[in-house]
Amino acid sequence: MLTAVRARPLPTRVVRQLAAVNILDLATRLAAQAFLAALPMLIAIASFCPPGWRHELRRSLRSLFGSDGDRSAMLDQIYAGEQQAMHSWGAVSFLVALLSATAFSRALQRLCERSWHLPPSGVRILLWRWALWLFVWLTALFFQGLLHDGFGAGPILGIPLQAIGAVLMWWWTQHLLLAGRVPWRPLLPGALLAGTGAVGFSRVAALWLPVALQRSVERYGPLGSVFTLLSWLILFFTIVALGIALGQVFAQEPLVRRVLRITAVPSDGVTPSTTR
């Protein structure tokens, strides 16, 4: 239910929101689900894709992880569906990977509902939304390499294009996984924070992640990449979770409400369940 905003200082509302949402807990869950569910799905799909699609997926992964040269070859071998991986996936394994990836969608749904202090929707309402989100996310991921390069124009065009794409993706994600219970306009601040923050983090992480990934693999073998990648994912989803959670707070600010013509937003007076 949409209610009027209570008059509280912004710092107080920020602290209350972060404590209620439990950012680190959700970010860790999202990172774990992304690694255990989403990445196997990517490997499975890459294993069955035509060579051209696999090439685009590699480009996208390189743009996210900031890998090039020898490091990109290492990343391809581990995560991008090399030839030897194609023989290890059967139809049953592929289907299981796709179904298990819905756990990633469910974790994102919990983040959105906690941030907006809403009760969970019914499974029947959300089941097709989880699958649709995965399909759109996977499609968008295949084009990240093109956006990163600015369609050949370089980072001058690539960075704004990535930021716009990320903002649109997180804006739509919130609306979809909240089952339309929050109007579009109040969701925009969170989309702006999550989208620009995620792109900015990916660009900065490109300075240290390739070196850290290479050192981990050299010292501990392929298992070393697990720890490095999980650390990256936890930091990435911490930024996303902060953006969506704080977006709910900033959507209550009088200036933001006037600019976006927001009449009311869900109250921050309800503490979401911490058991979900």
For the stretch 166-208, pLDDT in tens is 999 999 999 999 999 999 999 999 999 999 999 999 888 878 8
Q: How confident is the model at residue 97 (pLDDT cuts 50, 70, 90)?
A: low
Q: How far apart are CA 24 and CA 132, in angstroms?
A: 26
pTM: 0.82
Q: How far apart are CA 20 and CA 148, in angstroms?
A: 35
Domain ranges of the chain: 14-263
Cβ atoms of 21 and 115 within 8 Å: the answer is yes
Q: What is the CA radius of gyration of the chain?
A: 19
**265 φ, ψ to 5°?**
-130, 160
* Per-residue confidence (pLDDT) for residue 269, from 0 to 100: 45
CA dihedral over 139, 213, 27, 43, signed as positive or negative:
positive
Res 4 pLDDT > 60: no
